[in-house]
Amino acid sequence: MPSLHDTRHYHLHHPIDLMTEFTICESLGHPRSPYLPALAMERTYGAVLGDRLREKGLLRQGCRLCEIGGGYGSLMRGLVEAHGDLVERVVMVDLSRALLGRQQRALNPWIDRVRFVLGDALEVLPAISGVDLFLINEMIGDLPVWTDFHPRGLPPEAAALIERYRLAIPEDGLFHFNIGAIRLVEAVCLKNIPAFISEHASDPIIPREMPFLVKGLATGGWPREIRLTAHSEYTIRFSHLEQVARALGRKVETGSLLEFIGYTNVEKARFIFNARACATDEQALVFEFLDHVREYRWLIIS
Ligand SMILES: C[S@@+](CC[C@H](N)C(=O)[O-])C[C@H]1O[C@@H](n2cnc3c(N)ncnc32)[C@H](O)[C@@H]1O
């Protein structure tokens, strides 16, 4: 029987500890993070994301940003620390009152430029205006998912989306369908505002220079459950999101998050990833990071 997996009760009522989840944003979130020197990186994730968005002309003078599901506020803090001269206003939307409080503390130095909205992204998004760019980092895996679907027993809402956007589904066997992530992308596209999205992918892209990272990783697959403390997330079928955005007339760019953050030390990565026997703390950090980040994709809708 298909059922709708929903983390909203967890995010509304549970004391959320992101340190029990390995998030890229927190791993690279602070200038003193041990992952940064291990990866030979100097800038935090928020600062690097700002660099890339600036290069692509999406982060411009007077920019009004909206981050959805900002966790501890580390991404936005890093971005504003590095690129605050460009940012006119920030809106932080989150379902968790406790995490919105953390974001408020993280962004305190810029508080006169920041507004906080408590609510469910899927409900709030249509009402948001005066924004030039959405940032949605590692949150769409938390949105509702139809689980244990059979291709011949689709709930009507999902069947309608699959037909409207001509989404590929397996011919047989049970699978999971990221209905919440698709709905969010649909809402973003209908607003005609660019968006950066990143998440665990069920169809990850492996950097061409690092083919060894594919070892033991499912690519081109269907969403899988990731069990976490007191809740589960699901990996995202990015090709579905791309297809929805294109069908709605938007341009999409996508790739591996490891490439996006500018990690280039292929030889070191090859040695550590192939050996898997880490002789030093630094090698252990690099291995842990690579093993995790290789499943992530980024997507820019413009
Ligand atoms: C896994 S955390 C990621 C936090 C941060 N973006 C990062 O990369 O570390 C997911 C975030 O999305 C928020 N969230 C989950 N479901 C949401 C929803 N339906 N609407 C708005 N925010 C939501 C959570 O409260 C949390 O802040």
Atom of ligand 1 nearest to the CA of 138: 8
Q: How do residues 118-163 score in pLDDT, each as one tens digit?
A: 999 999 999 999 999 999 999 999 999 998 888 888 889 899 999 9
Q: How far apart are CA 93 and CA 111, in angstroms?
A: 15
Which value, to the nearest 10 degrees, does the dihedral of the CA atoms of residues 145, 128, 52, 30 take? -80
Q: 45-55 and 74-83 are packed helices; what angle lies between their axes, rounded to 10 degrees?
A: 60
Q: How far apart are CA 136 and CA 195, in angstroms?
A: 7
CA 86 to chain centre: 23
CA of 69 to the centre of ligand 1 (A): 3
* 273 in a structural domain: no
CA of 27 to the centre of ligand 1 (A): 16
For residue 18, pLDDT beyond 70: no
Q: What are phi and psi of 118, to 5 degrees?
A: -90, 120
Residue 129 neighbours by CB under 8 Å, 6+ apart: none
CA nearest neighbour of 88 among 112, 104, 70: 112
* 249 in a structural domain: yes
Residue 68 neighbours by CB under 8 Å, 6+ apart: 93, 94, 121, 125, 134, 135, 136, 139, 184
Give pTM, 2 decimals: 0.95
Say yes or no: CB of residue 25 within 6 Å of ligand 1: yes
Say yes or no: CB of residue 202 within 6 Å of ligand 1: no
* 35 in a structural domain: no
Mean pLDDT, the chain, rounded, equals 93
* 274 in a structural domain: no
Closest CA to ligand 1's atom 11: 69
CA nearest neighbour of 234 among 149, 123, 121, 173: 149
* 291 in a structural domain: no
Q: How do residues 58-86 score in pLDDT, each as one tens digit?
A: 999 999 999 999 999 999 999 999 999 99
Query: Is residue 257 within 8 Å of 198, Cβ to Cβ?
Result: yes
* 36 in a structural domain: no
Q: 177 or 15: whose pLDDT is higher?
A: 177
* 198 in a structural domain: yes
- At residue 76, what is the residue type? M
Q: 219 or 55: whose pLDDT is higher?
A: 55
Query: Is residue 236 within 8 Å of 140, Cβ to Cβ?
Result: yes
Atom of ligand 1 nearest to the CA of 121: 20
Enclosing domain of residue 123:
3-27+42-205+215-261+297-301
For 221, the 3-state DSSP assignment is coil
Across the chain, how many H-helices and E-strands are there?
13, 12
CA of 275 to the centre of ligand 1 (A): 35
Question: What's the CATH number where 178 sits?
Answer: 3.40.50.12710
pLDDT for the residue 2: 74
Domain count, the chain: 1
Instruction: For tokens 């580390």, name the residue.
Output: 74
